[in-house]
Amino acid sequence: MSKSKLAIRTVLFSMIGNAGLAVIKFLAGFFGNSFALIADSIESLVDVFASILVLIGLRYAERPADENHPYGHGKAEPLITFLVVGFLIISAATIAYQAIKNINTPHPRPENWTLWVLGAIILWKEISFQWVLSRSKRLNSSSLKAEAWHHRSDALTSIAAFIGIVIAIFGGEGFEVADDYAALVAVLFILYNCYLIFRPALGEVMDEDNHVELTADIRKISLTVPGVLETEKCYIRKAGMKYHVDLHAHVNGELTVREGHDIAHALQDTLRNQIPELGHVLIHIEPSE
């Protein structure tokens, strides 16, 4: 199965899971008198729309290179991630507004059984986070990483709701608002996760070169190619699930242009064969003294 199809299946898994959880959380919050659970359901619903955006981004990013986009359409992926972050911020603002409104409005304490619902949700979301995150690392996908952190933020929101409900139930009269304060704590977690998602996507759009391990692998593999004496500049930029490389390689300065050309192609083919996630590999031959 191709990387793009695997990524799309992962997003569909998240969409179906979030849609189901949004319904469960809302019903449990409505009938169990817990705004923290309703707030949690709002985030899950936003995550469904965010997953749709990620799916669109993955579909677009896998389009092949064309005349106007010689490096492909991979940059669409981090751009979609920005939209996902925007959705998360909107959901956080909505939750915060409603929580503050509820703090000033008397309401009954949550039902005890809502804790069992939350416990199951927390376990499921953490499992989902670990699974999607491992897929994002395997596929080098920033949007899948954002998708994974949605699951983690959802789990943290549910943990905050759990603590708030426990305090509201066992604290007695006057502690009903603990459920609403828990929703505000969840907002802080969501905003922090927004930063964790936004920062690497911004680096990808800005062609930030922080690929230390990949650079070391490229230099090491390059020296195994006959005729390559050493490597100099090595610039890497990420676009979608691919890494584009500009590499300066030193060869014997007495070689002919044809011989240098052949070494460059051998180096290019070797790098692509041994590091499948590489996209464009541009080799610049330097004469060694």
In this structure, what token pair is assigned to residue 65? 């290179």
Polymer length of the chain: 289
Q: Residue 228's domain spans which residues?
A: 212-288
Q: Do 201 and 216 fall into the same domain?
A: no
Question: Is pLDDT above 60 for 1?
Answer: no
Coil, helix or strand at residue 112:
coil
If one counts the domains in the chain, the total is: 2
Q: Do 197 and 257 fall into the same domain?
A: no
**Average pLDDT, integer, range 59-69:** 71
- CA torsion 137-141-143-145 (nearest 10°) is 10
DSSP state of 247: E
**Cα–Cα–Cα angle for 115, 119, 120, rounded to 5 degrees:** 125
Which helix (H) or strand (E) segment holds residue 188: the answer is helix 178-205
pTM of the model: 0.64
Report how far residue 185's alpha carbon sits from residue 192's, in angstroms, rounded to the nearest whole number: 11
Closest C-alpha among 187, 250, 239 to residue 209: 239
DSSP state of 34: -
For the domain that residue 277 is a member of, what is the CATH number? 3.30.70.1350
DSSP state of 111: P
**Average pLDDT, integer, range 152-156:** 76
Domain boundary among 168, 187, 205: 205
pLDDT tens by residue, 97-145 = 877 877 777 667 777 888 888 888 888 888 888 888 888 777 777 667 7
Residues 6+ apart with CB under 8 A from 204: 75, 77, 78, 142, 238, 239
Q: Do 134 and 200 fall into the same domain?
A: yes
Q: Do 56 and 17 fall into the same domain?
A: yes
Q: Do 182 and 223 fall into the same domain?
A: no
Q: Which residue did the predictor score with more confidence, 270 or 52?
A: 270
Whether 281 contacts 269, CB under 8 Å? no
Closest C-alpha among 81, 99, 86, 197 to residue 143: 81
Whether 54 contacts 143, CB under 8 Å? yes
What does pLDDT average to over the chain?
80
Q: Do 191 and 225 fall into the same domain?
A: no
pLDDT at residue 109 in the model: 73
Report how far residue 192's alpha carbon sits from residue 178's, in angstroms, rounded to the nearest whole number: 21
Q: Do 20 and 156 fall into the same domain?
A: yes
Q: Do 68 and 181 fall into the same domain?
A: yes
**Average pLDDT, integer, range 246-255:** 90
Coil, helix or strand at residue 285:
strand
Q: Do 133 and 231 fall into the same domain?
A: no
Whether 278 contacts 245, CB under 8 Å? yes
Domain boundary among 152, 181, 205: 205
Report how far residue 94's alpha carbon sits from residue 96's, in angstroms, rounded to the nearest whole number: 5
Q: Do 125 and 233 fall into the same domain?
A: no
For the domain that residue 76 is a member of, what is the CATH number? 1.20.1510.10
Q: Do 76 and 131 fall into the same domain?
A: yes
pLDDT at residue 207 in the model: 73
Q: Do 7 and 35 fall into the same domain?
A: yes
pLDDT at residue 218 in the model: 92
Domain boundary among 180, 205, 230: 205
